[in-house]
Amino acid sequence: MSIAVTPAWLADRLNEDGVRIVDCRFLLQDASAGEKAYEEAHIPGAVYMHLDRDLSAPKREDGSGGRHPLPDAAVFAATLGRAGIGNGTHVVAYDDQGGAMAGRLVWLLRWLGHDGGASLLDGGFAAWQAAGYPVTAARPAVAAAVFEARVQAGLVVHADDVRARLGQAGVVLVDSREAPRYRGEVEPIDAKAGHIPGAINRFWKDSLASDGTLLPADAQQARFADLSQEDEIIVYCGSGVTACPNVFALEAAGFRNVKLYAGSWSDWISYEGNPVAVGDEAKARNE
């Protein structure tokens, strides 16, 4: 099954047992905006998960783990259970940010060994509304479930893993941020500008069509045509959130050895000795 489901697919299953809808709307510049939007109107039956409170652990004082550290597995399993999500529940996640926040939830479910299916709502909340489907302000009554965490450690890498792979043949680092941030020309969020040495840049929003839906597999393949399917691909962004859509895009393009650097740039720069590069590495290699 594709990573994404259409609004029509979801509308046919609104009251189906075994399907849980999760609203993940969130704005980095206003951490309360997503929940306020949920309270005003959301897809019927949807529960809300907050990027900072639910989909991340608290930030550490030394900055390690980045701006959105991975949640503790047991704590997140309990969060899922309270939301009515068991290991076999089909989860459909949505946001209004091109799938970035919803993608974080889908990736976290994979990381915890969820096997009930996890999908993005293609086009997000805007597509749902544009199709004329109902919304509500009512919070659903949710029966608690049991979620057993089975951590899939091979899906994630950490700073020491990345450090050990720098310059290694057969390993490709993919920076998912906008090009000016990758090149180190601007840095509106984190303490240092630049990128991890050797990384190439593939802006995560380039995985989307103009209407906010996911590009088809052939278009995703074109985005990564310069990479080998034999490579180990490590994807990062600013804090491990917007990298998730690129993980899914790479998988749609046929790559199978794709890992997330969960702490990403904000974690990398928290270690004083980690090197930083600026400029366009692909351009420099071709000159």
Alpha helices in 5-148 (DSSP H): 7-11, 33-40, 73-82, 100-111, 124-130
Mean pLDDT, residues 167-176 taken together: 97
Ramachandran angles phi, psi of 201, nearest 5°:
-110, 125
Query: Which of 159, 122, 137 minimizes the C-alpha distance to 2?
Result: 122
- List active site positions: 237
Amino acid at 171: V
287 — pLDDT class (breaks 50, 70, 90): very low
Mean pLDDT, residues 50-64 taken together: 96
- Quote the tokens at residue 214: 């996911």
What pLDDT sits at residue 49? 98
Report d(CA 26, CA 229) in Å as an integer. 33
283 — pLDDT class (breaks 50, 70, 90): low
What is the DSSP code (8-state) at residue 140? P
Mean pLDDT, residues 100-114 taken together: 98
Residues of CATH 3.40.250.10 domain(s) within the chain? 4-151, 154-286
Burial of 145 (0-12, 13-18, 19+ CB in 10 A): middle
- Judged by DSSP in three states, 210 sits in coil
CATH architecture of 4-151: 3-Layer(aba) Sandwich (3.40)
Give percent above pLDDT 70 in the chain.
98
If you classify domain 154-286 with CATH, what class do you get? alpha beta
Report d(CA 178, CA 214) in Å as an integer. 18
Mean pLDDT, residues 54-70 taken together: 96
Give percent above pLDDT 90 in the chain.
95
What pLDDT sits at residue 2? 80
pTM: 0.96
What pLDDT sits at residue 285? 53
At 180-217, the pLDDT tens digits run 999 999 999 999 999 999 999 999 999 999 999 999 99
| pLDDT(284) > 60 | no
